[in-house]
Each structure stands twice: as structure tokens, then as C-alpha cells.
Amino acid sequence: MNEITTLNWRKINRYQPEHEDCVEDRPYTREEIQRLLEAASPRDRAIILLMASSGLRVGAISALTIKSLEPIDKYDIYKITVYRKSKSQYFSFCTPETRKEIDAYVEWRNRMGERLKPESPLFRKEFDTQDIIQANNPRPLSTGAIRWNIFRLEKSGVRIPQKLTEQNMLPKRTELMACHALRKRLDTEATKAGMNPLYVEIIEGHASGLKHKYFRPSESDLLEGNDKMLGYIYVIDALTINEENRLRRENQILQINKDKLEARLDKLEEMYRSLL
């Protein structure tokens, strides 16, 4: 508490050169994520889809538990509470295909004899399915393990490994960051599809200066939005990876719009009859 600062870092930092990025990174394309999913295990498929559709940081994945997920059956999605019981707590959403993949992974664990509890880790380390004691002592998957599991999906051909030589003993960065490119895809695709940029920042857990202190949209605002500020449900198609799921979702939207149109026509017909 009695420490004295002897160097004026504010002035010293003025002489620092401007930071330059060595590599211009980019988000994954839909086709690249499809190739990752084909080479991944069921657990890793759920993680990849979760990061791509909710924008979660890789460091937040290992802390998720079963009770972090709240089903929203109206849209067949999950609301995800991130960093629960901390000052950084916020929530995001995931697509229906992500919910389906997570449910399949959790159901498999249940069939293997694990007694799932609200506090059970959402993603756990691999275990001996024949050992009931090991099955019921789940250990959460660490952040390092998640990074490695995604990074090593080299057989998909998305991230081609570099061969090290005597002249080049350190691998160079590629334009695809193994995990962060999934988070960047959420930001890019959701914004392009029309979701309000402030809403995108909020579901990613970004603090937007003073705006973040005063602008407090409700869960309904973030999810459904309004005519002026589109919410998450309007960009689900853009975030969906599987083409079959995309077509199914489009059919659902067409049916919803048809029902709304029929309801309005019925109302107009009632009004017309009342005038006769």
C-alpha cells in the first residue's frame, strides 16, 4: 500500500510505436465449420457449434454446468448463463441445431450411467464407460483441453499444419485462430444478418463503455427485438451450419408468417362483417 511509482509509464508509452498485426485473421466460413464437425467427436461438435452460435469465449466453456442452460421451447433454443455468480455474469443464446447436439451428448452420458445433476459440468473429460464410479465423478474439460481438441482437428484440412525446419523452429500464425475465429463468426454473421450491433456486443459479453452502463435491454429485447432493433431469433438462419437444419428453420418461419397473415385476414374479415 506504500508502494511508490518511480517511472512515469504514461509518458514512456508515448514513445511506443503503433501496434501492427502480423496476420490479418478472419472468421470461419460455414463450409470450414462443416468440415470441422465431420472430423470431431460428439462432445467436440457440441462445443464447436456452441461457440459459433453463442460467441462464448473458450475460457467460459469449462465453467458451464447443466444448470447454465435454460430451455426456451418456443424457439427450440437454450439461454446460456455465462460466468454464473460472478461480476462478469451475462447470458447468450444458441441455435436449435446446437441445442440438439448438446442434448444428444448429455443423453449419451446419461445412458452411460452418469447421474446428471444441475451442478454437473456441461462438458466433461473422457471416462471409462464401464466404470460406474468414474462415470459419476465427472471432471470438467479444461480450457487447454478444449483449445487442443479443436486445434488438432487437422484431418479436416481446415487448418493445415506447418512443417518445422531448422530455419523455422516456431510455427507461424495462420489467418484462422482455432477457437477465437468461431467467436468472430458469430459477431460477423449476426451483424450482417441485421441483428442490432449493441445486442451482438451484449450476448458476447463485451462492455461497451458508458452505453453498457445505461443501456439495459431485457431478455425479450435481445431474443426477439422489435421492428427497429432485430434480436437473436432473426439471425438464427445465418448462424445455422447444417443445410438441412437451415431449410427446416426456413419452413418454420414461413409457417409462422403464414399463421400471422391468416390471423390478420380473419381479423379484417370480422371488422368487415361488423360494418355491414
Which pLDDT score, from 0 to 100, does residue 174 have? 74
pLDDT for 68-118, tens place per residue?
999 999 999 999 999 998 888 999 999 999 999 999 999 999 999 999 999
Is residue 112 within 8 A of residue 105, CB to CB? The reply is no
For residue 52, pLDDT beyond 90 = yes
Is residue 190 within 8 A of residue 200, CB to CB? The reply is yes
For residue 24, pLDDT beyond 90 = no
Query: Any residues with CB less than 8 A from the CB of 66 and at least 6 apart, and which?
Result: 106, 116, 117, 118, 119, 120, 121, 122
| Per-residue pLDDT band at 227 (split at 50, 70, 90) | confident
Q: Where in the chain does DSSP place strands (E)?
A: 69-72, 77-82, 90-93
Residue 36 or residue 173, greater confidence = 36
